[in-house]
Amino acid sequence: GWLFLALGVSLAAAGAIDGYAVYGAVARPGSLPGAGGAARLGDVIFVPWLVLVAAVLHLTPTGRALTRRWDLALRATVLAGGLAVLSAVLGDRTLDPPFDDIENPWAIDALASTLGFVGIVATLGVGLGLVAAGASMVTRYRRSVGADRQRLQWMYLAAAPLPLFVPA
């Protein structure tokens, strides 16, 4: 429940951040302080969503990962998500339009190439972690019986096609 709440809050925050960035950096450039930073955050805000979805899949319905290995997979996904966000916020990658002219106020130029590489690897790690989370849910569903299986059925239906959606 808390993870779904966090997912909803992060989606709402993403909308607010994107709206702030568009207004302050595109519609009325210079009218709002920190609009460039908001644009940078808005570019990477999807990563926490993916990490939260992975956590939901790993932890539903008991609140614990299926085994110690699945717990390590969840922890690796969370770590990869943190690294992806950090590398995007501190990197100097050009943003997609309409923010392509905005300079990153937090960029560390000396680490640009390293942060770019870390960002790519971490983002791939999040994708793989999401696939692993789907596999965890499928495994949990296949091991369940009776009422537990019925409770997991709706999550299983969402998790089973996940390995196809992540690369797409």
pLDDT digits (tens, 9 = 90+) for 39-84: 999 989 989 999 999 999 999 888 999 999 999 999 999 999 999 9
Segment 158-163 shows an average pLDDT of 74
Alpha carbons 68 and 30: distance in angstroms, whole number: 50
Q: How far is residue 153 from each of residues 51, 142, 164, measured CA to CA in Å?
A: 21, 10, 19
Tell me the torsion sign for CA atoms 19, 22, 27, 30: positive
Q: Please check the confidence at residue 156 and state whether its pLDDT lies above 90.
A: no
Q: What is the pTM of this model?
A: 0.88
Structure token digits, residue 55: 């956590």
Looking at 40-49, 92-101, 112-121, 154-163, which range is the least confident one? 154-163
Contacts of 102 by beta carbon, 8 Å cutoff, 6+ apart: 25, 35, 36, 39, 40, 95
Asked if residue 85 has pLDDT above 90, the reply is: yes
DSSP 8-state secondary structure symbol assigned to residue 33: T
Question: What does the chain come to in residues?
Answer: 168
